[in-house]
Amino acid sequence: MYTVSFHAAEGTDNHSSASSNSGAKGSAKSISKSSAKSISKSISKKKKYKTESGAMKAMWNWLNANKGSVNYFSPHSMPQTFTDSNELPYEGTKTETDFYRTAKWLRLRTAAFEQFGNKCACCGATPDTGAVLHVDHIKPRSKYPHLALELDNLQILCEACNMGKLNVSETQWR
Ligand SMILES: [Zn+2]
């Protein structure tokens, strides 16, 4: 379960915050109405999500629509606080291609080659032997968006090994 608490900045006109459909418009379907009960007079609210991407999407939408901060509690990372949707390890409505064009990713990609070397971690192929090398997410971005920009989650794979892997395997070859 992924829990997000939303904290509207004080002084923000947020009179609708006590209603269960405030904040992010079109937020994830998995939001339960029970969250409204946890709100007393506070302008904070807490919601639980079944999927990480659902939580990310909700935080993204909320931060784009409100001033304030969100606290994110995930089973596989330390609690995190975000105050701007740009801080989220989530690309919102951007396409897959856009992620691989971000400056953050391109810097990280270079760091991955420096760290892990210019060869396939699986079969050892190098550009000298004709391999096209990819920087692969060991835990796929689709399931683990918070690991998308973690060097520890990257490995170098040749195109052939990477295509064989798809998103099914989470094998760390290095
Ligand atoms: Zn390979």
Q: What is the pLDDT of residues 123-154, one digit of tens each?
A: 999 999 999 999 999 998 888 889 999 999 99
Q: How many whole angstroms from 163 Cα to the centroid of ligand 1?
A: 9
| Confidence band, pLDDT 50/70/90 cuts, at residue 42 | low
In whole angstroms, what is the distance from residue 54 CA to residue 49 CA? 6
Q: Which one is predicted more confidently, 139 or 92?
A: 139
β-sheet bridge partners, residue 3? 48, 73
Q: How many whole angstroms from 108 Cα to the centroid of ligand 1?
A: 20
Q: How many whole angstroms from 118 Cα to the centroid of ligand 1?
A: 11
pLDDT, mean over the chain: 79
Q: Are 116 and 125 a contacting pair, CB within 8 Å?
A: no
Its pTM surpasses 0.85: no
β-sheet bridge partners, residue 82? 70
What count of Cα atoms within 13 Å lies in the side-chain half-sphere of residue 170? 8
Average pLDDT over residues 88-94: 64
Q: Which one is predicted more confidently, 147 or 64?
A: 147
Give the model's pLDDT for residue 30. Answer: 44
The domain locations on the chain are 2-87, 96-165
Q: How many whole angstroms from 172 Cα to the centroid of ligand 1?
A: 13
Reply yes or no on whether the pLDDT at 93 is more than 60: no
In whole angstroms, what is the distance from residue 167 CA to residue 140 CA? 6
Q: Are 45 and 35 a contacting pair, CB within 8 Å?
A: yes
